[in-house]
């Protein structure tokens, strides 16, 4: 069957409605259509369609009618392939013939009399063939939960009441808590038999006051005292002789097989798994996950229908659970906020990694984000972790693995907050705080209660970061979101997030921020319509894009993958790092258009910044003199970058613009919506985006293959090849490129807004989707190259 009808155009490219996948451009459409998934589904659909055409729908039968009765009756019209009876009610059947003509014959027959019954025969209903995505069970139960919650929430008088109700409905019930306690007690009794003096301590959501019905049971098996016990027993044995240890317990136990001081975590966890399997009733699916950051033994409890995790090295986890308990105790608005935000994040698929690992936020990280926001409210709702440390008394001092984990044990030790905002405005504040937060250039520190500039963490080289010299403190792994653990300061709690999940988080915050300003959020609907949290919780897949965003290319500032030389340069630039980085990016973008894709590029005549363009010297990558490519004619006209850089400088250094930002009130705000550089006009006469992969393969196979040089040089050869071999477009493509840097009030990135001025061949769409992927990748390559050149020159 033809796939034409399956491919629909969307604002971001194309969509195959059969397979439910989005495709950026025509070449990926071609590949997809030839691929296995599409082919298989197409053929299943064809078979299904043929079956439908050959079948008839028969009603008016009675439960006692059998398949063979129907076969006997209908075979007068032609051979029967199958008869499908409705087993439960026995009132209809589908008769499938071997040929379509037989079905037509049966349909045209005026009367079907069979065993005294008058059968009604109709064409079989044609159902649209669609791929039904598999749903995970917990997602299903969440959906069901939401369906039940909806009408109840709508009836409540205010958003505050709705938030309190969410806690009531989701939190662990008293019975559930009791059952978990009993299981912990049982495990304690069993483990102490095998590991004398050991202690089993629950942590995580079961006890941190943020647990929900289905949450897992996190346990820490503390073997510290067992080690002491073992050491004592060993020395006693050496003195007294073999057989019995000092407290009379038989040494003929599982513990005698293992020396805890020398055993590896994997060996101990294997032992824990064995004990769980053999000695704990109702426990199943026990297995060790050794690859996690903190290896665990996972198990399930039949009767309690819960998932449990046991670790042997998570004292910090127990302590940060105590911290969360303390925060809840200090501030009663925290629980409704956390429950609401957790539920929102689950609905929007921003948090909750199946099986623990994955690229989404975990609940711990999400809770820390809520606390950080509350530390930054005006006046603060919660104190910083450093302030809490100072409020603790001497006996409360606590250091774990060298990290200071001191805070008061009782909430009473902390003065109540002066902030009087209600829950609804705090929730709206959370969304606007993170909608604008510049995660790319800041590190979230609950310890200090403010955002720390990421450039402070760039001083160390990547290698040193990954393999710190012995004895030195490791730097956190920087990521698209860097959220420092409040105690283990070298640990990025959001280190598992990928660009996409970070991006989605901020996008959903922006959507929620907008919604929270609407009347539907603030006022109960008199007509019984959804309002308040109900609309906020409504799941939707991808956030719809507005038109301006659809035609923009983003080049994110990625502190993690900056070239070595640039890291220290930006580190030295301090707060001015954005301007420096943007200059370099612009220079690279210009090269991509000009040299790699051989577009004709000029500064737009309507560029308001023309005047400034003459003001200062461009900070150009070309100054290093070694990144022009063979075959690229030297540019004689004014370089757009020359103008751009100055334009950017003018805006970015307008340093008086120091409005308060969420990031510790220090970060400089970028003026949103204002261009940072004059626009370029870009012209291209050839379809340089089409078939590049194939051309590249040919070049690599050809006589030139050894000398292809850098990736950028290879790409420009590909362009040259296409220009040589392919026919020109009927009419040249012309579009405007408006470069801009954003950051300070949102994630730092360079944005290129594209607007076609002439697009008769309709090719702009394809070119744009190609550029969307190609430009950021190429810019990374060129920045890397520039940094290398710079190092060689130095």
Q: Which residues bind ligand ATP (CB under 6 A)?
A: 203-205, 208, 215-216, 218, 317, 320-321, 362-364, 485, 491, 493
- Token pair belonging to 63: 């439960």
* Residue among 485 and 676 whose Cβ is closer to ligand ATP: 485
For the CB of residue 352, give the shortest distance to Mg ion in the complex, in Å.
11
* Residue among 336 and 532 whose Cβ is closer to ligand ATP: 336
Is position 204 an interface residue for Mg ion (rule: CB under 5 A)? yes
Sequence-separated (6 or more) residues with CB below 8 Å from residue 663: 437, 438, 442, 450, 451, 744
Query: What SS3 class is residue 480?
Result: coil
* Residue among 206 and 559 whose Cβ is closer to ligand ATP: 206
For the CB of residue 364, give the shortest distance to Mg ion in the complex, in Å.
8
Are the C-beta atoms of 355 and 344 separated by less than 8 Å?
A: no
Is position 176 an interface residue for Mg ion (rule: CB under 5 A)? no
Is position 367 an interface residue for Mg ion (rule: CB under 5 A)? no
Q: How far apart are CA 443 and CA 745, in angstroms?
A: 14
Query: What SS3 class is residue 85?
Result: strand
What is the per-residue DSSP string for 202-243?
EEGGGTSS--BTT--EEEEEE-HHHHHHHHHHHHHHHHH-SS
Q: Choosing among ligand ATP, Mg ion, none, which partner's interface includes residue 537 (Cβ < 5 to 8 Å by kind)?
A: none
* Residue among 25 and 492 whose Cβ is closer to ligand ATP: 492
Is position 211 an interface residue for Mg ion (rule: CB under 5 A)? no
Query: What SS3 class is residue 680?
Result: strand
Is position 216 an interface residue for Mg ion (rule: CB under 5 A)? yes
**Distance in angstroms between the alpha carbons of the first and the last residue of the chain:** 62
Of 28, 42, 205, 432, the one binding Mg ion by CB under 5 A: 205
**Segment near Mg ion (CB under 5 A); pick from 208-216, 346-354, 411-419, 468-476:** 208-216
Radius of gyration of the chain (CA): 33
* Residue among 211 and 662 whose Cβ is closer to ligand ATP: 211
Are the C-beta atoms of 574 and 465 separated by less than 8 Å?
A: no
Is position 300 an interface residue for Mg ion (rule: CB under 5 A)? no
Nearest residue to 582 (alpha-carbon basis) of 557, 603, 562, 561: 557
Which phi-psi region, left, alpha or beta, contains residue 588 (left: φ > 0; alpha: ψ -120 to 50)?
alpha
Q: How far apart are CA 81 and CA 95, in angstroms?
A: 8
Q: Choosing among ligand ATP, Mg ion, none, which partner's interface includes residue 162 (Cβ < 5 to 8 Å by kind)?
A: none
For the CB of residue 291, give the shortest distance to Mg ion in the complex, in Å.
18
For the CB of residue 395, give the shortest distance to Mg ion in the complex, in Å.
29
* Residue among 300 and 781 whose Cβ is closer to ligand ATP: 300
54-77 burial by CB neighbour count: b if 16+ within 10 A, else e? Answer: bbbebeebeeebeeebbeebbeeb
For the CB of residue 362, give the shortest distance to Mg ion in the complex, in Å.
9
* Residue among 364 and 433 whose Cβ is closer to ligand ATP: 364
Q: Given the structure tokens 């049966």, which residue do they identify?
A: 106
- Bridge-based pairing of strands 600-603 and 680-684 is antiparallel
* Residue among 204 and 744 whose Cβ is closer to Mg ion: 204
Nearest residue to 763 (alpha-carbon basis) of 717, 727, 739: 727
* Residue among 342 and 594 whose Cβ is closer to Mg ion: 342
Is position 209 an interface residue for Mg ion (rule: CB under 5 A)? no
Please identify the residue of the shown chain whose CB is closest to the bound ligand ATP: 204
**Segment near Mg ion (CB under 5 A); pick from 182-190, 196-204, 654-662, 768-776:** 196-204
Q: What is the side-by-side order of every strand in the sheet holding 92-97?
A: 80-85, 92-97, 55-59, 117-123, 112-114
C-alpha distances out from residue 141 to 120, 272, 339, 364, 793, Å:
41, 32, 17, 21, 61
For the CB of residue 138, give the shortest distance to ligand ATP in the complex, in Å.
11
Is position 476 an interface residue for Mg ion (rule: CB under 5 A)? no
Q: Choosing among Mg ion, ligand ATP, none, which partner's interface includes residue 317 (Cβ < 5 to 8 Å by kind)?
A: ligand ATP
What is the per-residue DSSP string for 266-323?
HHHHHHHHHHHHHHSTTEEEEEEE-SSSS-EEEEEETTTTEEEEEESS-HHHHHHHHH
Size of residue set near Mg ion by CB under 5 A: 4
For the CB of residue 195, give the shortest distance to Mg ion in the complex, in Å.
23
* Residue among 357 and 700 whose Cβ is closer to ligand ATP: 357
Is position 486 an interface residue for Mg ion (rule: CB under 5 A)? no
Are the C-beta atoms of 348 and 504 separated by less than 8 Å?
A: yes
For the CB of residue 287, give the shortest distance to Mg ion in the complex, in Å.
17
For the CB of residue 401, give the shortest distance to ligand ATP in the complex, in Å.
12
Q: Choosing among Mg ion, ligand ATP, none, which partner's interface includes residue 493 (Cβ < 5 to 8 Å by kind)?
A: ligand ATP
Is position 308 an interface residue for Mg ion (rule: CB under 5 A)? no
Q: How far apart are CA 608 and CA 643, in angstroms?
A: 10
Three-state secondary structure readout of 412-458: HHCCCCCCCCCHHHHHHHHHHHHHCCCCCCEEEECCCCEEEEHHHHC
For the CB of residue 479, give the shortest distance to ligand ATP in the complex, in Å.
12
**Segment near Mg ion (CB under 5 A); pick from 171-179, 211-219, 322-330, 419-427:** 211-219
For the CB of residue 217, give the shortest distance to Mg ion in the complex, in Å.
7
For the CB of residue 416, give the shortest distance to ligand ATP in the complex, in Å.
25
What are the residues binding Mg ion (CB under 5 A)? Answer: 204-205, 216, 218
């Amino acid at each position: 069957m033809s796939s034409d009808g399956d491919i629909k155009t969307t604002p971001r490219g194309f969509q195959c409605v059969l397979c439910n996948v989005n495709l950026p451009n025509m070449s990926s459409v071609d590949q997809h259509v030839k691929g296995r998934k599409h082919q298989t589904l197409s053929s299943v659909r064809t078979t299904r369609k043929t079956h439908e055409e050959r079948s008839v729908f028969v009603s008016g039968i009675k439960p006692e009618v059998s398949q063979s009765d129907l076969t006997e009756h209908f075979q007068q019209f032609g051979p029967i392939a199958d008869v499908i009876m409705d087993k439960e009610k026995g009132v209809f059947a589908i008769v499938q013939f071997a040929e379509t003509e037989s079905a037509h014959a049966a349909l045209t027959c005026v009367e079907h009399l069979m065993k005294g019954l008058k059968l009604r025969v109709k064409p079989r209903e044609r159902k649209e063939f669609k791929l039904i995505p598999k749903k995970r069970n917990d997602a299903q139960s969440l959906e069901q939960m939401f369906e039940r919650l909806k009408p109840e929430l709508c009836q409540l008088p205010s958003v505050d009441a709705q938030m309190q109700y969410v806690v009531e409905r989701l939190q662990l019930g008293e019975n559930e808590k009791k059952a978990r306690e009993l299981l912990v007690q049982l495990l304690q009794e069993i483990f102490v038999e095998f590991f004398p003096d050991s202690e089993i301590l629950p942590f995580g959501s079961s006890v941190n006051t943020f647990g929900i019905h289905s949450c897992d049971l996190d346990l820490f098996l503390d073997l510290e005292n067992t080690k002491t016990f073992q050491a004592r027993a060993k020395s006693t044995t050496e003195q007294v002789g073999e057989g019995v240890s000092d407290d009379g317990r038989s040494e003929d136990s599982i513990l005698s097989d293992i020396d805890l001081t020398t055993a590896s975590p994997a060996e101990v966890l294997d032992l824990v798994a064995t004990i769980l399997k053999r000695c704990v009733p109702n426990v199943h699916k026990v297995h060790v996950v050794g690859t996690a950051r903190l290896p665990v033994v996972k198990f399930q409890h039949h009767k309690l229908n819960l998932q449990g995790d046991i670790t042997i090295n998570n004292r910090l986890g127990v302590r940060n659970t105590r911290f969360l308990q303390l925060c809840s105790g200090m501030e009663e608005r925290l629980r409704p906020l956390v429950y609401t935000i957790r539920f929102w994040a689950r609905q929007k698929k921003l948090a909750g990694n199946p099986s623990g690992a994955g690229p989404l936020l975990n609940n711990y990280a999400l809770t820390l984000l809520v606390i950080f926001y509350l530390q930054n409210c005006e006046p603060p709702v919660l104190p910083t972790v450093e302030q809490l440390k100072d409020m603790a008394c001497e006996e409360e001092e606590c250091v774990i693995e060298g990290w200071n984990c001191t805070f008061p044990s009782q909430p009473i030790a902390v003065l109540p907050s002066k902030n009087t905002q209600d829950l609804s405005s705090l929730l709206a504040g959370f969304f606007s705080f993170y909608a604008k937060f510049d995660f790319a250039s800041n590190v979230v520190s609950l310890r200090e209660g403010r955002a720390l500039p990421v450039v402070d963490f760039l001083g160390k080289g990547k290698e040193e970061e990954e393999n710190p010299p012995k004895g030195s403190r490791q730097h956190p792994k920087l990521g698209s979101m860097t959220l420092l653990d409040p105690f283990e300061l070298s640990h990025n709690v959001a280190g598992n997030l990928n660009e996409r999940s970070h991006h989605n988080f901020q996008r959903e915050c922006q959507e929620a921020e907008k919604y929270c300003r609407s009347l539907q959020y603030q006022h109960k609907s008199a007509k019984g319509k959804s309002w308040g949290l109900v609309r906020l919780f409504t799941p939707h897949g991808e956030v719809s894009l507005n038109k301006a965003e659809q035609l923009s290319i983003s080049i994110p500032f990625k502190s993690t993958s900056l070239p070595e030389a640039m890291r220290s340069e930006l580190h030295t630039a301090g707060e001015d790092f954005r301007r420096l980085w943007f200059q370099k990016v612009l220079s690279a973008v210009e090269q991509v258009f000009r040299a790699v894709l051989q577009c004709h590029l000029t500064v737009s005549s309507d560029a308001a910044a023309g005047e400034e363009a003459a003001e200062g010297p461009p900070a150009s990558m070309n100054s290093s003199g070694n990144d022009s490519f063979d075959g690229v004619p030297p540019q004689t006209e004014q370089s757009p970058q020359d103008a751009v850089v100055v334009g950017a400088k003018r805006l970015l250094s307008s340093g008086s613009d120091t409005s308060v930002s969420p990031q510790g009130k220090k970060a400089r705000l970028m003026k949103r919506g204002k261009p940072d550089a004059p626009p370029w006009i870009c012209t291209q006469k050839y379809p340089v985006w089409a078939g590049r992969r194939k051309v590249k393969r040919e070049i690599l196979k050809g006589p030139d293959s050894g000398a292809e040089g850098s990736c950028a040089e290879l790409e420009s050869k590909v362009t040259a090849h296409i220009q040589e071999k392919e026919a020109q477009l009927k009419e040249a493509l012309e579009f405007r490129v408006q470069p801009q840097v954003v950051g300070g009030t949102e994630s730092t990135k360079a944005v290129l807004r594209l607007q076609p001025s002439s697009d008769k061949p309709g090719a702009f769409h394809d070119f744009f989707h190609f550029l969307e992927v190609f430009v950021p990748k190429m810019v990374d390559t060129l920045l890397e190259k520039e940094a290398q050149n710079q190092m060689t020159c130095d």
